[in-house]
Amino acid sequence: MKILSVEDHELFRDGLRVALQSLAPQGSAVPELIEAHTGQQALELLERDPDVGLVLIDLTLPDWNGLELLRIVRARFPTVAAVVVSASERASDARAALDAGASGFVPKRAGRTVLVSAIQLVLAGEVYVPPLLLEAPSDDARALSPRQLEVAELLVKGLTNKEIGNVLGMAAGTAKTHVAAILEALGVANRTEAVLALVERGLVDAPGANRS
């Protein structure tokens, strides 16, 4: 599987190459990184290379708006996942990217660890929702993805990461990543505080409660 980076800043591309080294366990093959500096180059590479499974798109490109490129990629290459990696930290940009079909939005300032975790989550078929969306003028439920809300319901019931994974058909590590994202989005420090916040904000029913 190959990852296509659509990015015109060399410094970030260099950092991405290093970050990808931690995507594979020791002894396993690291996903191959191929690069495009413009939106047009990205589409040409996608046309020629069916092995691309993930595209990382910057919002600001020399020739196109990144959101426009994202929409075209999702329409023409529906099996290819896309993550927006941008200098922007505006909640409106993150929401626009997710609404346009991105499987995640990662601010560049978030750092290597967050970027790698987001890529791992997306490669596992999940969606990475950044904590900054909690600051958006929308309700808290929209700050969590549908999958994260499923995880939250099981979190409130007291299930461990392994048990959550078993119920939802995901690896325990993926469940752990979702739980960490929920804690960060809610601005809490641990699972107990998360449960209280989820119930108090009406995002998830309290254990034993029934919605009318």
| Beta bridge pairs of residue 64 | none
Phi, psi of 33, deg, nearest 5: -100, 125
Gap between the Cα atoms of 31 and 86, Å rounded: 21
Q: Which residues form the domain of 152?
A: 140-200
Q: Are residues 117 and 175 in the same domain?
A: no
Listed in order, strand segments (DSSP E) in 18-113 are: 32-36, 52-57, 81-86, 104-107
Q: Render pLDDT for 40-79 as a digit per residue (tens, 0 to 9).
A: 999 999 999 999 999 999 999 999 899 999 999 999 999 9
38 and 107 in one domain? yes
Contact between 184 and 194 (Cβ < 8 Å): no
One-letter amino acid at 202 equals G
86 and 191 in a single domain? The answer is no
Question: Going along 44-201, which residue ranges are E strands?
Answer: 52-57, 81-86, 104-107
> What average pLDDT does the segment 93-120 reach?
88
pLDDT of 183 = 86
pLDDT score at 80:
96
When pLDDT is averaged across residues 76-98 and rounded to a whole number, the result is 91
Counting the structural domains of the chain, the total is 2
Minimum mean pLDDT range among 25-39, 109-123, 132-146, 188-202: 132-146
Q: What is the SS3 assignment for 204? A: coil
Neighbours of 74 (CB within 10 A): 17
Q: What is the pLDDT of residue 24?
A: 62
- Averaged pLDDT, 177-197: 85
Q: State the CATH number of the domain containing residue 183.
A: 1.10.10.10
DSSP three-state, residue 52:
strand
The pLDDT-based confidence of 138 (bands split at 50, 70, 90) is very low
Reply yes or no on whether the pLDDT at 212 is more than 50: no
